[in-house]
Amino acid sequence: MASDQATLSRPVSTIDPFSHAFLHDPYPHHEAMREAGPVVWLEQYGIWAMARHQEVRDSLTDWQTFCSSAGVGLSDFRKEPPWRPPSIILEADPPLHTRTRAVLTRILSPAAINVLRTTFEREAELLVARLVEQREFDGVADLAEAYPLKVFPDAVGISGDGRENLLPYGSMVFNSFGPRNDLFNQAMANAGPVREWIMSKCSRAALAPDGLGMLIFRAVDAGELAEDEAGMLVRSFLSAGIDTTVYGLGNALYCMARYPEQWTALRENPALIRGAFEEVLRFEAPVQTFFRTTTKAVDVGGVRLGEGEKVLLFLAAANRDPRRWDRPDTFDVRRRATGHMTFGTGIHGCVGQAVARLESEAIFAALAKRVVSFELTGEPRRRLNNTLRGFDTLPLPLVPA
């Protein structure tokens, strides 16, 4: 029968996408999976994987077939209890998702976020001026972490004390999308106190009156959300809003140091800064993967997927698919990089992308005024994570303007 035939001919791979070797250098493995077929069976985990741009995009767009409510990590919420109450936006389907998403779409719209621009630019100028005086800095701790940890919690309206919990929490969240491996266990080592701190910051009483967090509670007053749902959406801000931009800014710095002629192009023409960040997101995606779960049997390129099966979507592999991109392995700030899958697409496409773009534009505009070049003297050290790709340390001596 046709379906047996398809099952028999499914491409199979022994790759472990959460092994250290894979996470250190995923790109050859991405290519192998793209070339294996439109969908590949990863036998170690008993899951499907998609690495081509077309199939990743189509799956993200078809939320009826590829749902999020069973979790967007390896764990199937229908079979094992989630490590925390599921996110009511990320790990939800319509109609719940539609209601929560509408609130955050409004609060995080480009026009609403533009109100933050003056503050974000001032903070970027202050930080970069300080780093340039130092002559040498760690691109991760001193910039990629320091900046989002200042401006984003300020914007949400979180008090200053205890912010050292935000990165450990992000590490828990993003490692938890993978298997319960060494990275997961390390991230969860101090889970209790970190979670308690996070949850204590999510209530109406804990939030500044003029921040993005309180805007969520205004939606309660308008009858759009329940009080506990508002707290859960503040938790989503604190889960999704820090590590993603930390890794993104770190990867951007790495690209500018690694490809100095591209940095020169930006300095000479700051109008390229906005597109350059999109190219960083395409080329070194801070968020590498997300899962979906099938709600029914479905055909993908002639291969039959069953119902209730996990599908690993390689956003970062789609971003370098030669079927979609010219010279996919070349970092080129002048290319049209929009259409990359790093923000996802469809109903779950990144709701905070205006914040991410604002942070990168503020930082790289400030750097472009003051830094002629970065020099990668030593090998940067990677920080491995089951979902995120980025660095632990980026020692960057810089040549001031």
Decide whether 203 or 373 has the Cβ nearer to ligand OVM: 203
One of 40, 42, 67, 90 touching ligand OVM (CB under 6 A) = 90
Decide whether 57 or 235 has the Cβ nearer to ligand OVM: 235
Q: Report the nearest approach of ligand OVM to the CB of residue 12 (Å).
A: 29
Decide whether 60 or 128 has the Cβ nearer to ligand OVM: 60
How many residues touch ligand OVM under the rule CB under 6 A: the total is 7
Alpha carbon distance 263, 255 (integer Å): 9
The helix (run of H) or strand (run of E) holding residue 54 is: helix 53-61
Q: In 197-308, which ranges are E strands?
A: 289-294, 298-300, 303-305
Distances (CA, A) of 217 to 6, 12, 226, 255, 382: 50, 48, 9, 39, 38
**With contact defined as beta carbons under 8 Å apart, do 349 and 343 qualify?**
yes
Alpha carbon distance 246, 149 (integer Å): 8
**What SS3 state is found at 289?**
strand
Q: Report the nearest approach of ligand OVM to the CB of residue 241 (Å).
A: 8
One of 59, 87, 245, 386 touching ligand OVM (CB under 6 A) = 87
Site string for ligand OVM, 12-41 (x = CB under 6 A): ------------------------------
Q: In 269-401, which ranges are E strands?
A: 289-294, 298-300, 303-305, 310-314, 371-374, 381-384, 389-393, 395-400
Decide whether 131 or 155 has the Cβ nearer to ligand OVM: 155
Q: Which residues between 143 and 202 bind ligand OVM (CB under 6 A)?
A: 173
Task: Tell me how long the chain is.
Answer: 401
Site string for ligand OVM, 204-243 (x = CB under 6 A): --------------------------------x--xx---
Which of the stretches 21-29, 86-94, 101-109, 329-337 binds ligand OVM when contact is defined by CB under 6 A?
Answer: 86-94
Decide whether 89 or 285 has the Cβ nearer to ligand OVM: 89
Q: With the CA atoms of 77, 91, 385 and 19 taken in that order, what torsion angle do they form, in degrees rounded to the nearest 10? A: 40
Alpha carbon distance 244, 250 (integer Å): 10
Alpha carbon distance 355, 64 (integer Å): 28
Q: Report the nearest approach of ligand OVM to the CB of residue 400 (Å).
A: 36
Q: Report the nearest approach of ligand OVM to the CB of residue 200 (Å).
A: 16
* Interacting residues with ligand OVM (CB under 6 A): 87, 89-90, 173, 236, 239-240
